[in-house]
Amino acid sequence: MKPLDIIVCVKLVPKPEEVTVNAETRTLDRAKARSALNPPDMNAIEMALGLRERHGGTVSLLSMGPPFAAPYLQVGLAMGADHAYLLSDRLLGGADTLPTSLALAKGIAKIGEWDLVLCGEESSDGATGQVPQGIAEWLGCSQITYAMDLSFLPDGRLRGEREIRGGHEVVAVPLPAVVSVKLAVNEPRFMDMERRRNPEAVTIWSAADLGVDPKWLGFEGSPTVVGAVWQAKSPERQRQFLDGTPQEKARLLAEQIRRML
């Protein structure tokens, strides 16, 4: 098999536990939250690096986000990726999945040589796993979502095991292809400080570099809008500790369960 050129889409997200809702303005308070690479994307990077070990080739990271995402992409370079590209421009801000997948597809086309695009299953800050399919559609190529394992058939097609409801299936698709990697299917490797010391610089592209009508990008290009935002409340739990012998506890449990049914 010929070496593979893989692009991994990675997103910078605020750490979920540090994001709060401002009760007065009913908007998200992201300012206080620290950022991290979207954890599911680490699984995609790990899968890409594993494929490169087996087949040779290159792994490039691609992200759309604010300028301060660049140092986080260095983390991916320190894990072993070869190149990193950041699409960063005010015009790209506030994008929902339609313009996000468009911008990423244009970024992928601009990188040029590629066989495979890997994405995480979903971004932890709200969107839920729709961008990879969108990228595949803009690029007009085949897709495998929720992939747990990737390999190649003797005829060069990509073989993927993917999740379906209540089971799994094994599919084959031709390259080029876009794949979303099922969350937690592997253990992302640590970064290597030796690489870290002298990693390649991150290439930064603006909206103009993508050659798309700016009206199709960012907030302006987004068909959906967020209305209200509020803090989720889970039911208050009683946290009542039961005393007694196992029999006494079981009697109480049976009583409480019956009351609920």
Partner 1 sequence: MIPSAYSPEEARGLWVFLEQEAGRLEGVALELLGKGRELAQARGVPLTGLLLGQGVEPAAREAIAHGADDVVVADDPLLAVYTTDAYASVAAQVILDRKPETLLLGATPNGRDLAGRLAVRLRTGLTADCTGLAWEEGTGLLLGEVSGFGGGVMASIKCARHRPQMATVRPGIFPPPSADPDRAGRMEFVPVSLDAAKIRTEILERVRHEGVDITRAKVLVAGGRGVKGDFAPLTEIARLLGGEVGASRVACDLGWIGRDRQIGQTGFVTRPKVALVCGISGATQFTVGVKDAGLIIAINSDPEASIFEEADLCVVDDLFPVLEALIAELRGAA
Ligand X SMILES: Nc1ncnc2c1ncn2[C@@H]1O[C@H](COP(=O)(O)O)[C@@H](O)[C@H]1O
Tokens of 186: 């592997």
Phi-psi region of 164 (alpha: psi -120 to 50; beta: other; left: phi over 0): beta
What are the CA-CA distances from residue 49 to residues 37, 78, 89, 123, 197 (Å)? 16, 12, 29, 20, 19
Question: Of 104 and 141, which CB lies nearer to ligand X in the complex structure?
Answer: 104
The neighbouring-strand residues paired with 16 are none
Q: Tell me phi and psi for residue 34, to 5 degrees.
A: -80, 160
Cβ of residue 128: shortest distance to ligand FAD, in angstroms?
A: 15
Q: Toward ligand X, which CB reaches closer, 57 or 100?
A: 100
Residues 182 to 211 in contact with ligand FAD, rule: CB under 6 A = 183-184
Question: How are beta strands 142-152 and 4-9 bridged, if at all?
Answer: unpaired
Give the one entry of ligand X, ligand FAD, partner 1, none that residue 254 binds, where binding means its C-beta sits below a cut-off of 5 to 8 angstroms depending on kind.
Answer: partner 1
Contacting ligand X within 72-91 (CB under 6 A):
none
Q: Tell me the closest approach of the beta carbon of residue 182 to ligand FAD, in angstroms.
A: 10
Number of residues interacting with ligand FAD: please give it, by CB under 6 A. Answer: 2
Taking CB under 6 A as the criterion, which residues in 52-71 touch ligand X?
Answer: 63-65
Distance CA 86, CA 239 (A): 47
Q: Quick check: 242 binds ligand FAD (CB under 6 A)?
A: no
CB 173 within 8 A of CB 116: no
Smallest separation (angstroms) from partner 1 to the CB of 237: 5
Select from ligand X, ligand FAD, partner 1, none the partner in contact with residue 235, using the beta carbon and a kind-dependent cut-off of 5 to 8 Å: partner 1
Interaction site with ligand FAD (CB under 6 A): 183-184
